[in-house]
Amino acid sequence: EPEVTQTPSHQVTQMGQEVILRCVPISNHLYFYWYRQILGQKVEFLVSFYNNEISEKSEIFDDQFSVERPDGSNFTLKIRSTKLEDSAMYFCASSELDTSNQPQHFGDGTRLSIL
Amino acid sequence: GNSVTQMEGPVTLSEEAFLTINCTYTATGYPSLFWYVQYPGEGLQLLLKATKADDKGSNKGFEATYRKETTSFHLEKGSVQVSDSAVYFCALKSGGYQKVTFGTGTKLQVIP
C-alpha cells in the first residue's frame, strides 16, 4: 500500500537555526498537510496546501513557518528561526481529494528537538 | 468551531477483554468521523471511518457507529490483544474545512 514518507525521523537543532522537514506524499494525491503534536498534547493542524498554494493555515503557522513543493514529489516544511517551543512531532499527510469523507494519510512523523 | 472529546487514558485491559473508548464531537455541518491509531514509535494510521449518520466503520475487529443524536463515535472491540496496545485518536473532518480535528488520544495497554 502506498505510504507517506518523512525524513529525517529525528532532527536535533540549536535554537535560532533554520530547519527543513521533508515529506514525500502518496503519488496521486493532490492535497498536502502538516500537523504537529507537542509531547503529551493533541495533534494540531498547521497548514494545508493545494495547487502550489496554501489553502488554509492555523494561528500556529506564523511567519516563521513556510511550506513548499519544490518538485513533483517532495513537500517541505521550513521553520526559519526555531524556538524551544517548536519541539514536537511533525506529521505530514496527504489526500487524493479534499471532500469531508476523504481520509488523510499520515507519515510516521519527524521528531524535532530544539536545544 | 469543531472539537472532539475522548475519554482520558491510559486504559489498561487484560487480553480478550471488551474495549470501549468513548468519543463525542461538536461540528459545523455534517462531519465525517475517523479513528486513527498510533502504535509505539510509528505514525498515525487510519483505523476506520464513517461518513454519515448510522454508518458503522469497522476494521481489524474494531467498530464504531456514527450516532448523530448523541454526537458520538465510540470505538469498540470485543476481544483485545496485546498487539492492540497503542494510542487511539478520534477525529473529524467537516465539509468546507480541510483540516482534521483530533481528540487528545487515549492510550490503551493490553496485558497478557
Task: List per-residue pLDDT tens for chain B, 112 residues long.
Answer: 889 999 888 999 999 999 999 999 999 888 999 999 999 888 899 999 999 999 999 999 999 999 999 999 999 999 999 999 999 999 999 866 678 999 999 999 999 9
Task: Count residue pairs from A and B with Cβ separation < 8 A.
Answer: 65
Taking CA–CA distances from A91, the nearest residue in chain B reads B43
Q: Do B32 and A58 touch (CB under 8 A)?
A: no
| Mean of per-residue pLDDT scores for chain A | 92
- Model pLDDT for residues A58-100, shown as the tens digit of each residue: 999 999 999 999 887 899 999 999 999 999 999 999 998 877 7
C-alpha cell at B76: 469498540
CA distance B108 to chain A (A): 15
Q: Is A31 left (phi over 0), alpha (psi -120 to 50) or beta?
A: beta
CA distance B95 to chain A (A): 5
Which position has the grid cell 498536502? A32
- Residue B96's pLDDT is 63
- Residue B104's pLDDT is 92
- Residue B95's pLDDT is 65
Residues A91, B44: contact at Cβ < 8 Å? yes
Residue A83: closest CA among A105, A67, A51, A60: A60
Residue A103 identity (one-letter amino acid): P
List phi, psi (to 5°) of A86: -80, -10
- Residue B28's pLDDT is 81
Across the beta sheet with A5-7, the strand order is A5-7, A19-24, A75-79, A65-68
Which position has the grid cell 494510542? B87
Residue B8 identity (one-letter amino acid): E
- Residue B98's pLDDT is 75
Residue A27: closest CA among A66, A77, A75: A75
Residue B91 CA from chain centroid, whole number: 7
CA distance A109 to A92: 7
- Residue B90's pLDDT is 97
CA distance B12 to chain A (A): 18
